[in-house]
Amino acid sequence: MMRGIITFRDDEKLETGEPIAPELFKAIHESWCSVIVLSEGYCFSSWCLEELSEIIQQKNDKGHNVFPIFYYVDPSDLRKQTGKVQEAFLKHENNFQDNKERTQRWRSALTQVANIKGWHLSNRHESELIGEIIKKVSTKLCQTFASAPTDMIGLESRLEELNCKIGIGEEDDSVQIIGICGMGGLGKTTLARFVYTQISSRFEGKSFLADVRQIAEKHGLVYLQKQLLSQIFSEESFKFFNVHDGNDIICRMLSHKKIFVVIANNNIM
């Protein structure tokens, strides 16, 4: 379990030719996503291909999320099914001559997973890749399971207007500052938090600073600057002791990145 993500790993002791355990089918059906490691020897395993077929079926039928890792293999080789892949399928087709539908299903599943954008492990550290995958899955989980508040009147129109102002997907390097103003209790922070959860994954970095006025009064602006940087660069520590140094570091580290920052309950700007 990492970052609150409950994982299920398939049975490494399962021998070739044995049926997939019911627990694995159950895990696939009940899971939100599957991370598939596609190696050079992957296609030689009928068990792996049967598992892949089930995952792709869940993706097509129920929107199951699939994250492929191409472990020193080229997706085009999997897609075209040449070389080692072709060799593997010739073996399977010989072993399952009375069940051509099965091998065709495997071929289709392999083609589909090869067409999904994934990670390529070549000339990079595995630990770096694992961290990137965890971050991606965590972000997608937050985005998927964020529920819209149901007690806000006119929420849909407000969300649409705010999304238009933010201009996601537009090629624009300018800095945008959007204010949500109004009396207390209108749901400004709730609206901002929901939009943040929905779209922050589209940015290179994100930060949600809540209760800014109270925190600034209690801990000072330097504390808030460090909080901002720590949320965006979670693996780094920052040591500065005045606002001017903090401003310099923020400008230097964020000026070339696409960042989404929400500052809630703020009346000090």
* Amino acid residing at 2: M
- Give the Cα separation of 88 and 92 in Å (integer): 6
Contact by Cβ (8 Å): 243, 221? yes
CA-nearest of 10, 12, 33, 13 to 22 is 10
- Give the Cα separation of 68 and 79 in Å (integer): 13
Could you say which of 12, 51, 101, 160 is catalytic? 51
Helix (H) or strand (E) holding 89: helix 84-95
Is position 51 annotated as part of the catalytic site?
yes
Sign of the torsion angle spanned by Cα atoms 54, 55, 60, 62: positive
Q: At what angle do helices 221-232 and 243-254 cross, to 10 degrees?
A: 20
Cβ-based neighbour number of residue 148 at 10 Å: 13
- Give the Cα separation of 248 and 242 in Å (integer): 10
Tokens 């009346």 sit on residue: 267
Cβ-based neighbour number of residue 183 at 10 Å: 6
Q: Catalytic positions, please? A: 51
